Amino acid sequence: MLDRILRAVLIVIAMVAITAADGSGSLEAAPADPVDALKRQFAAGRGVMVTTKLTVTKKGETIELGSSGAADFGPRGITATDLTAAMPAGVFSAFTGASPRAVTVQGHRYIKDDTAQVSKGWQENGDAAVRPCLDATWTLLADPAMLAAVLATTTSRSRAGVYDGTPTVLHEGVITLGALHRARPQPCDDLDPTAPRGATAEAKVSWRMWIGEDRLVRRAWAAWDGVSEKGRLLYTNVSDAWLTAWGARPDIEVPAIEPQAG
């Protein structure tokens, strides 16, 4: 009787193992590293929420810029973004105080600013060079090539706080602007930018990334000086970005463009 019981138990264990190994009940192996974890997020119906903040200091004056929103993923990466920017009035004439919202898909960007004195609704900018991305100024968030390049310069790791409900490990390091450009020569929009040269290329970016137990980045921080090719200090930057709700389904919709009254 005991032998029969043992055989029955072994059969059950074998059945459980088979079920776990087939397509209907697979036990997916844990991501090998943050780049692998990021690539696994690239599937239809998945996305991430993001908040960014950039502090720029020039000639003793400081301005803070930011954005918040979401990104939709597909098998090859980001397929759409829906971001609302915060551009307060400041010392730089280019920023007059506005909160434009931009929805971006491949080849098209739709912009609307309800805070403007006269809102014109959604305005479309169609250009083959336009592509969706999550730009943190110094790096592209959710970009495997740039993430790999940054993490390759890690100099220290330490346990850190809880972000987005998961304990994190703080990774720190230093990378140059030139190395970042080599990792991803094209910025968000495919405009064939000029590679940084001279002192600009050698400018060092001190970075920190908080990575969760699932190997996904929850926060990315960096500080660097904007310098000319000859080394003259132009401004300083501090960038901070938070990534939350990995795997969420933002379901970003392309805006309908209403005809403007003539």
**CATH number of 31-244, picked from 2.40.10.10, 2.50.20.20, 3.40.50.300, 2.40.320.10:** 2.50.20.20
pLDDT value for 117: 57
Burial per residue of 93-127, b for 16 or more beta-carbon CB atoms within 10 angstroms, e otherwise: eeeeeeebbbbbbeebbbbbbeeeeeeeebeeeee
- For residue 210, give both structure tokens: 């908080």
Long-range CB contact pairs, 159-164, < 8 A, 24+: 160/210, 161/210, 163/210, 163/212, 163/218, 163/219, 163/242, 163/244, 164/212, 164/218, 164/242, 164/243, 164/244, 164/245, 164/246
Residue 187 has pLDDT above 70, yes or no: no
83 burial type by CB count under 10 A (0-12 exposed, 13-18 middle, 19+ buried)? buried
pLDDT confidence of residue 30 = 78
In this prediction, residues 122-146 reach a mean pLDDT of 90
Q: Is the pLDDT of residue 115 over 80?
A: no
Q: Is the pLDDT of residue 60 over 70?
A: yes
pLDDT, residue 17, reads 38
Whether pTM > 0.75 for this model: the answer is: yes
Q: What is the pLDDT of residues 5-44, one digit of tens each?
A: 334 433 333 333 333 333 444 456 778 899 999 999 999 9
Coil, helix or strand for 14? helix
Q: Flag whether pLDDT at 82 surpasses 80.
A: yes
- pLDDT of amino acid 251: 87
Which of the two residues, 262 and 187, has the higher pLDDT score?
187
Least confident of 90-99, 137-146, 170-179, 188-197: 90-99
Question: Is the distance from CB of 132 to CB of 114 less than 8 angstroms?
Answer: no
The tokens for 241 are 């970005």
Residue closest to 251 by CA, chosen among 116, 74, 61, 6? 74
- Give the E-state strand segments of the chain in sequence order: 47-58, 61-74, 77-86, 101-105, 108-112, 123-126, 134-135, 140-141, 154-163, 166-176, 204-212, 217-227, 233-244
* Whole-number Cα distances in Å, 117 to 66, 87, 93, 94, 257: 21, 15, 18, 17, 20
